[in-house]
C-alpha cells in the first residue's frame, strides 16, 4: 500500500524490503519445518539445567518455553515478563539470566540504558529486554519513584498496541513510541506488584547439599547457547503463522491466561510431552504466585533452627518433628537480644508476620496434632530444607531465657 506522501524512490525501496522479507519468511518456514519442535525444546531444557538448579521441574519448563516464545514475538498479543527472584544473594538468579540471554531472541541488556534508548530500540520484531539487579531499581520507594517511566514501559509493554506518548520538541508533535517486548528481570526480593502480576515468576533458591551444576564459561560454553538460539529461532520463526492463529486451551483465566498463552502455544506447536508439561507448569507456578512474599531473612531461619534445637534437648527423645506457632513465637521472643520483640511500630512478631516472612523460603504453617490437641504450627521437614540451603552447618546454640 502506497503512503500518500511516499516518493517513487521510497516506494521502490519499501517494495524491495517487502520482497526480501517475504523471501526470508519463506526460507525460515522451510528450514523450520525440518526441525522437530519437541526435540528442539528438549535440547534447550538439557542445556539450561546443565548450568542452573531450578527450584522445581515446572520452573525449568517455564523458562525453556518463555525463551522459545521470545523468537516469535510478532505472533503474540501479550508479552509475558520472566522474573527470577530470591530471598537472598547467591541463589542463581544472575546465572539463570545469563543463560536466558544466550538463548533468547536479540537480547538487549538494559544496564545504563536511558528510557529513550530502550523505547527507540523496539520495533515490530523487538529485542528481548534483560534487567539484572532490578531490586536496585525498584527496591525502595525513592528508587521506584525515580524509575516510574521504566515501570510504565514494563507494564504497558505486556500488551500489544499500548504505546508510550512523548512530545517531540523538534517536530513539535506528539510521538507514539512502541513498548511491546518480552522482558526478563532478576531481583533480590519481589518487584512491584504491577510487574509481578504480568510475569512468570521463578523463585530461585540457594543450592542445597547434593545439588550441583556445571560451571558456565562464556568463551567455552557460549557457542552452545548460540547454536541453541539459532535452532529454536529457526523453528519458532518458521511457525509464526501457526502460532499467530493459535487459540490454545488454557488452564488459567484473566491476566494469568494472557501471560501464559504464548508459552502454551509454543508447547502445543512443539508437541510431544510439552503440551502437558506446559499446562502443569502454568497451574503450579500460578498457584505458587498467589501466596508469594519477599524474603523473611537468614536471621529468622537461624533463630528457628535454635528454637527447634532447644526443643530437641527438652524432649530428650531425638528430634521433634513439629512445633506449634505459639511455642515458636514464645521461643523467638525469649532469645537474647531478640529482634522479634519489635518488628515495627513497637509490635512484636506475631503468627501472621512469621508466616509472611517464611513463605519466601517455601515454609508455611498448617494444622498439626499435638498431645494437647490440634494447633497451627510448622513441620520440621520444610524448615530443614531451608536450613540446608541458606544456613552454614553449625552446632545449635544452647540459648535459654535466662
Q: Where are the domains of the chain?
A: 32-289, 298-390
List, for residues 171-226, the tens digit of each pLDDT value. Answer: 888 878 788 999 999 999 888 878 888 999 999 999 888 888 899 888 898 899 99
pLDDT at 13: 66
> How many CA within 13 A on the CB side of residue 399?
18
pLDDT at 295: 43
> With bands split at pLDDT 50, 70 and 90, how would you rate the model's confidence at 14?
low
Task: Select from 264, 148, 140 the least CA-distant residue to 195.
Answer: 148
For residues 269 and 60, is the Cβ–Cβ distance under 8 A? Answer: no
> How many CA within 13 A on the CB side of residue 285?
33
Q: In the predicted model, what is the mean pLDDT of residues 281-296?
A: 72
Q: In the predicted model, what is the mean pLDDT of residues 102-123?
A: 81
pLDDT at 21: 53
Task: Give the residue with greater pLDDT, 138 vs 6.
Answer: 138
> With bands split at pLDDT 50, 70 and 90, how would you rate the model's confidence at 402?
very low
| Partners of residue 164 on adjacent β-strands | 177
| Least confident segment among 201-205, 273-277, 334-338 | 334-338
pLDDT at 246: 95
For residues 203 and 55, is the Cβ–Cβ distance under 8 A? Answer: yes
Task: Select from 229, 277, 258 the least CA-distant residue to 60.
Answer: 277
Q: In the predicted model, what is the mean pLDDT of residues 17-29?
A: 54
CA distance 323 to 365: 10
Q: Is the pLDDT of residue 64 over 90?
A: yes
The helix (run of H) or strand (run of E) holding residue 119 is helix 115-120
In percent, the amount of the chain with pLDDT more than 70 equals 84
> With bands split at pLDDT 50, 70 and 90, how would you rate the model's confidence at 69?
very high
Superfamily (CATH) of domain 32-289: P-loop containing nucleotide triphosphate hydrolases (3.40.50.300)
CA distance 293 to 268: 32
pLDDT at 290: 65
Amino acid at each position: 500500500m502506497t503512503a500518500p506522501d511516499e516518493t517513487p524512490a521510497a516506494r521502490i525501496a519499501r517494495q524491495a524490503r517487502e520482497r526480501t522479507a517475504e523471501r526470508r519468511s519463506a526460507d525460515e518456514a522451510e528450514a523450520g519445518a525440518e526441525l522437530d519442535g519437541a526435540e528442539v525444546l528438549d535440547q534447550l531444557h538439557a542445556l539450561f539445567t546443565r548450568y542452573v538448579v531450578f527450584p522445581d521441574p515446572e520452573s525449568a519448563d517455564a523458562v525453556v518455553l518463555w525463551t522459545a516464545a521470545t523468537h516469535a514475538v510478532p505472533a503474540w498479543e501479550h508479552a509475558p515478563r520472566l522474573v527470577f527472584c530470591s530471598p537472598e544473594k547467591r541463589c542463581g538468579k544472575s546465572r539463570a539470566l545469563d543463560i536466558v540471554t544466550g538463548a533468547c531472541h536479540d537480547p538487549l541488556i538494559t544496564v545504563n540504558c536511558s528510557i529513550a534508548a530502550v523505547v527507540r530500540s523496539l520495533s515490530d520484531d523487538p529485542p528481548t529486554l534483560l534487567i539484572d539487579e532490578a531490586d536496585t531499581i525498584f527496591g525502595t520507594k525513592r528508587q521506584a519513584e525515580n524509575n516510574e517511566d521504566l515501570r510504565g514501559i514494563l507494564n504497558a509493554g505486556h500488551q500489544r498496541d499500548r504505546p508510550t506518548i512523548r512530545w517531540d520538541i523538534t517536530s513539535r508533535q506528539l510521538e507514539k513510541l512502541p513498548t511491546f517486548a518480552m522482558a526478563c528481570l532478576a531481583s533480590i526480593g519481589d518487584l512491584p506488584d504491577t510487574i509481578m502480576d504480568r510475569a512468570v515468576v521463578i523463585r530461585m533458591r540457594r543450592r542445597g547439599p547434593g545439588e550441583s551444576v556445571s560451571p558456565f564459561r562464556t568463551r567455552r560454553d557460549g557457542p552452545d547457547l548460540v547454536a541453541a538460539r539459532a535452532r529454536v529461532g529457526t523453528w519458532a520463526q518458521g511457525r509464526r503463522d501457526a502460532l499467530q492463529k493459535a487459540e490454545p486451551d488454557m488452564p488459567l483465566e484473566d491476566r494469568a491466561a494472557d501471560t501464559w498463552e504464548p508459552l502454551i502455544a509454543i508447547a502445543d506447536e512443539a508437541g510431544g510431552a510439552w503440551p502437558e508439561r506446559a499446562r502443569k507448569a502454568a497451574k503450579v507456578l500460578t498457584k505458587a504466585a498467589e501466596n508469594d512474599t519477599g524474603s523473611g531473612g537468614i536471621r529468622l531461619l537461624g533463630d528457628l533452627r535454635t528454637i527447634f534445637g532447644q526443643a530437641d534437648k527438652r524432649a530428650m527423645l531425638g528430634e521433634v518433628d513439629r512445633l506449634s506457632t505459639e511455642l515458636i513465637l514464645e521461643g523467638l521472643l525469649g532469645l537474647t537480644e531478640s529482634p522479634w520483640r519489635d518488628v515495627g511500630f513497637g509490635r512484636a512478631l506475631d503468627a501472621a508476620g512469621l508466616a509472611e516472612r517464611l513463605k519466601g523460603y517455601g515454609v508455611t504453617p498448617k494444622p498439626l496434632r499435638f498431645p494437647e490437641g490440634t494447633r497451627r504450627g510448622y513441620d520440621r521437614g520444610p524448615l530443614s530444607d531451608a536450613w540446608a540451603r541458606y544456613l552454614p552447618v553449625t552446632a545449635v546454640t544452647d540459648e535459654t531465657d535466662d
